[in-house]
Amino acid sequence: MKTTERKISIGNKNVFQSEPFEPASNFFSGFVGRESELRMIIAAWISGDYSLPMSPLLIGEPGVGKNRLIYERAQKTGSQLYIFQGHEDVTAEDLACSVRFSDQSANVMDYMLSPLVTAMYNGGICFIDEIGKIRPRALALLVSVLDERRYIDSTLLGERIHAHPGFRFVAATNTNDINLLPEFILSRMRPQIDIGYPAKSEIDNIIRNQCTGMKKEVDHLIDLFWALWEEHTNTFGNIAPRDAIYLFGLASKLSAYDTAGGDGAYMAAKAYNSYQIPKELSHTGIRPAHLESAFHKLFTDRATKTG
């Protein structure tokens, strides 16, 4: 992956670029499935002299894997990935450029290019997460980026920035927020790709990849998990990968707590890294009681309290 100089010059101004995101592989277990969704994203991004790349919109429930799909895609192509987190207070100019107090005594203010403009400038991928949370007023600046113009006007910089030919755009929204997106954005964001819950067998593989230190026992735990899930939700499936990962993650921490000697080891420890779990104990030694306890904590406790 090529590295970029953070400070560049646009017009006669020195500006700082946003930093690309590089996922830390130790926190991500193997990627499972999603071939047809990936195929659709790749196809949408194909372009040529007479054909512009399209800008897909990923739509799905929380935790189904919208971000992860884009991380996989960016990693495969070696493209730099710039993420813009959408929220209610984003302004049109935040999408292009902002200013901050400078740390250098010679300057009062520094110009900061947004992740979107940094990706346009370098030919990277811009991923706007939670785009449905951004107000239509702010999104108006995106229109010229997404159609044949492929440029953005920054009032603060007083410049028009044209997209590098390698620039690609994708955004994601939770299913509930799709209706908040204005038509002028929805009509330019195609294809719209639904990211559903993975099949049961894919969830099983996500769990197996997470618990690589466990051999046959993991299959019994997976069976136990589905039995608990079915009893709790009356469905067999329909779980987001994040929920499955958190469940086995908490079970593994409960197991590590017991293995380390419980209260004595962890409660008395004061060092800042005293909660460290050794690699060989990570996601191993989970017993059914740990899984049950984690399941009740994550799924049934609150349901009982609120329901």
Q: Which residues bind ligand ATP (CB under 6 A)?
A: 28, 31-34, 60, 62-68, 174, 206, 241-242, 245
Taking the least distance from each CB to Mg ion, the nearer of 54 and 172 is 172
Work out how close the CB of 25 gets to ligand ATP at its nearest, in angstroms, rounded to a whole number: 11
The residue type at 256: A
Pair 252, 294: CB distance under 8 Å? no
132's contact among Mg ion, ligand ATP, none, with CB below 5 to 8 A by partner kind, is: none
* Contact of 250 with 294, CB cutoff 8 Å: yes
Q: How far is CA 261 from the centre of its chain?
A: 36
Quote the tokens at residue 194. Answer: 């639904």
Q: Compare residues 67 and 300 and give the one whose CB is closer to Mg ion.
A: 67
Choose the one of ligand ATP, Mg ion, none that binds residue 56, judging by a C-beta under 5 to 8 angstroms depending on kind.
none
Give the H or E element holding residue 112. strand 109-113
CB of residue 264 vs Mg ion: minimum separation in angstroms?
39
Stretch that binds Mg ion, among 20-28, 59-67, 69-77, 241-249 (CB under 5 A): 59-67
Binding Mg ion by CB under 5 A: which of 67, 77, 209, 300?
67
Q: How far is the CB of 299 from ligand ATP (least distance, A)?
A: 16
**Binding partner selected for residue 98 from Mg ion, ligand ATP, none, CB under the kind-specific 5 to 8 Å limit:** none
- CB of residue 213 to ligand ATP, shortest distance in Å: 17
Q: How many C-beta atoms lie closer than 10 Å to residue 28's C-beta?
A: 15
Q: Do residues 284 and 211 lie in contact, with contact meaning Cβ atoms separated by under 8 Å?
A: yes
SS3 content of the chain, % helix, strand, coil (to 5): 45, 15, 40
Residue 129 parent element (H or E): strand 125-129
- Find the residue with minimal CB distance to ligand ATP: 65
